[in-house]
Amino acid sequence: MMYNTFMDKIKKNQQHKVKILDMTHEGTGIAKIDGFPVFVSNTLTGELLDIHIIKANNKYAVAKPLKFYQKSKKRTEPFCDVFHRCGGCDLQHIKYEEQLIIKKQIVESNLQRIGGFNDLLVDEIIGMEKPYNYRNKAQYPVNEGKIGFYAKKSHTIIEHDKCLVQDERVTKIIEYFKNQEISHIKHLVFRIGDDKLMLIVVSNNRKPFFDIELLIATFPFITTIVLNYHPNETNVVLGKENITLYGDGYITDQLLEISYRISPNSFYQVNKVQTEKLYKKVIEFAGDTKNKTIFDLYCGIGTISLTMAKDAKKVIGIESVIEAVNDANINMKENSIDNCEFICNKVEDEIINLYNDNIIADIVIVDPPRKGCDRVLLDTIIKMNIEKMIYVSCDSATLARDLKILCDENYKVLNIVAIDMFPHTKHVETVTLLELK
């Protein structure tokens, strides 16, 4: 029997015995029931199991596992009690070495499906030696007396005792807040640097409403506390107004021997160990930078700019968040570097100003957010005919889309390396080297 019509499709709440045939590029198992595709969470290719259908339409169904008859050798016991409910990690049930293989395949599959690159392989994937407690940033939503992480595709808060990808000090502070009055708190955000921990309490109340002295006495490792006033109901975690209640109102951290100041609203890579490997790859791909002008687009607090400034003639960094640009300028001075210029503007607008002023680089580095590069930016880079381009990406789907645009014109891809910045999640970072054809 073929389930091809709306009437005889697979229905919600049915149970079936299936074999997992393949996996999506998000790490979900794919089974087929008489040709009808069923996506089964937390399963691996080759597994035989009973499933429970939780959603079905006339194109596909979604199911959760019920009982396993045959488990994959790639499977491991998830280390977190709330793995099946929390939306934070997707791949915890897969051995770490296998996670790396899957992530490499995800990138290659996106390059093929979206970019049309049939022969482009990822050169290597650089994993972590100890893929735990790696995050230097945590954002815990608070609602209806609960503190935790959101469930997958929902705003339901899943509480947990500890999260093994977070810093252990964060878990202790979360436990403390679980016994406090938290009705004014929207999020608890943590930023961690070398021996520094910043607690940002995001609130719809501008006046401090918690015992700061008790908090510091209980957790002497907190170096600064900031109240972030955020009265609006949006999906953006932080509001614009920061009130420093204790300490400097920022943290500092070192990457490849350069020290950085990081303000609450500034972007900073979440995994320090892997960021250093990422930046080393950028240095390697850039090659000889003597007397070269470099554009660092989407530059954040200037980390890539300052890393590249040593040998280069000049680095121009562009970033739209003013706090990050202020940090970048301070970071340049504090590290006695004087050949960078940081511009606060949208890259897609500023690149046109540079083009019109005939300011062109020898190397352009882009590191956009997940949505990828703006089309105007890509078109202008193509027009500028910049010899070398390094594309740092945290989303291989938008990377593939953008590489297609560049390679349909004057660029070719020379190398792609993946770096596992986010172990146990489906996310993967890449660095791509392009040159003019």
Ligand X SMILES: C[S@@+](CC[C@H](N)C(=O)[O-])C[C@H]1O[C@@H](n2cnc3c(N)ncnc32)[C@H](O)[C@@H]1O
Q: Which residues of the shown chain bind ligand X in the complex (CB under 6 A)?
A: 267-269, 298-300, 303-304, 318-321, 324, 346-348, 367-369, 394
Buried b (16+ CB within 10 A) or exposed e, 65-79: beeeeeebebbeebe
User: 199 or 308: whose CB is closer to ligand X?
Assistant: 308
User: 38 or 394: whose CB is closer to ligand X?
Assistant: 394
Active site residues: 394
Helices (H), 385-433: 396-408
Report the alpha-carbon distance of residue 352 to residue 347 in Å, rounded.
Answer: 9
Task: For the CB of residue 75, give the shortest distance to ligand X in the complex, in Å.
Answer: 32
Task: For the CB of residue 366, give the shortest distance to ligand X in the complex, in Å.
Answer: 9
Buried b (16+ CB within 10 A) or exposed e, 96-111: bebbbebbbebbbbbb
What DSSP letter does each residue of 71-114 carry, written as one string? --TTB---S-TTTTTBSS-S-TTB-HHHHHHHHHHHHHHHHHHT
Which one-letter DSSP state was computed for residue 247?
A: S
User: 100 or 328: whose CB is closer to ligand X?
Assistant: 328
Task: For the CB of residue 370, give the shortest distance to ligand X in the complex, in Å.
Answer: 8
**Which one, of 392, 384, 401, 399, lies nearest residue 436 by Cα?**
384
Task: For the CB of residue 203, give the shortest distance to ligand X in the complex, in Å.
Answer: 23
User: 82 or 373: whose CB is closer to ligand X?
Assistant: 373
Task: For the CB of residue 193, give the shortest distance to ligand X in the complex, in Å.
Answer: 13
Report the alpha-carbon distance of residue 217 to residue 223 in Å, rounded.
Answer: 11
Position of minimal CB gap to ligand X:
300
User: 321 or 407: whose CB is closer to ligand X?
Assistant: 321
Report the alpha-carbon distance of residue 76 to residue 95 in Å, rounded.
Answer: 5
